[in-house]
Amino acid sequence: MSLREVLVTRYCADRSVERRNAVIDAYCHLCARGARKFKRPYNDRADLEQVAAIGLIKAAANYRPEMQTPFQAYAWIMIVGELMHYVRDHERLVRTPRTLIALEKRYAETWEALTKANHREPTTTELAAALGVGAETVAELRSLRRAEHVSLPEPDSPDGPERIDLLADTSLGIALEERIALAMAVDELAERERTIVLGTYGAGLTQAELAARLSLSQSQVSKLLARALSKLRSAA
């Protein structure tokens, strides 16, 4: 058992303010990680860390050992949930130019067409030429899509909590403990299967986009997704 886990165990046995603060101090690195993940040009990292800290405090207050869920996983999903709501609320205040909104659908269609034609992700120059716009506009379109979709974790990421951040959204209509259990089931999938499931249902990527990222054919992605979903149904 790590020192952090010992602190959580001690806090659960005696929920004093002192022991709660020790737990928060031990896991405050998750707040910095969450702030980095949700940093946007229009928000401040210090503000994000404060929002993340609220999620961490809520996690410490609500965590119970009988959940049989690692505290780090529980805290991370609470932190990401807080950050999701904060960033989305602020994104509504950022007015996106209508020209970009009109181009966004064409951008997605062009990206997919060029990917299929060239069997790789298109470059900025290729997209700009196909859309008849400048490279700066393509960069803005990419930023717009990143704001709308949760980023896909790296397939070889060593950090366990990163595996579950795509299930932090309360709009899924699934209880928190069930979301964490689902996340752990996803974590038992093979690397490519996990990436495809998270990319499809969390990051909002198309099978063509995933195929390009993973150097696979679209039919291979489709088969891997079907196999992964079958495994998840069996684990339920």
Token duo for residue 105 = 């659908």
Give the mean model confidence (pLDDT) for residues 183-210.
Answer: 76
Distance, CA of 108 to CA of 101 (rounded, Å): 11
Distance, CA of 37 to CA of 56 (rounded, Å): 16
Which fold, 152-236?
Arc Repressor Mutant, subunit A (1.10.10)
- In CATH, the number for domain 98-147 is 1.10.10.10
pTM above 0.75, yes or no: no
Token duo for residue 165 = 């951040």
Do the domains spanning 1-92 and 152-236 agree at the CATH topology level?
no
Distance, CA of 21 to CA of 7 (rounded, Å): 10
pLDDT tens string 36-55 = 888 877 778 899 999 999 99
pLDDT at 64 over 80: yes
- Residue 104 in contact with residue 133, Cβ under 8 Å? no
Distance, CA of 214 to CA of 195 (rounded, Å): 9
Token duo for residue 197 = 């499931």
* pLDDT of amino acid 131: 92
- Residue 164 in contact with residue 180, Cβ under 8 Å? yes
Q: Amino acid letter at 24?
A: I
Token duo for residue 179 = 């979301």
| Architecture of the domain defined by 1-92 | Up-down Bundle (1.20)
Residues 6+ apart with CB under 8 A from 9: 1, 65
**Host H or E run for residue 79:** helix 71-91
* pLDDT of amino acid 161: 40
The full set of domain ranges for the chain reads 1-92, 98-147, 152-236
pLDDT tens string 91-114 = 654 455 667 777 877 888 888 788
pLDDT tens string 118-146 = 877 788 899 999 999 998 888 877 766 55
Task: Provide the CB-side half-sphere exposure for 63 (13 A, CA).
Answer: 32
Distance, CA of 45 to CA of 58 (rounded, Å): 20
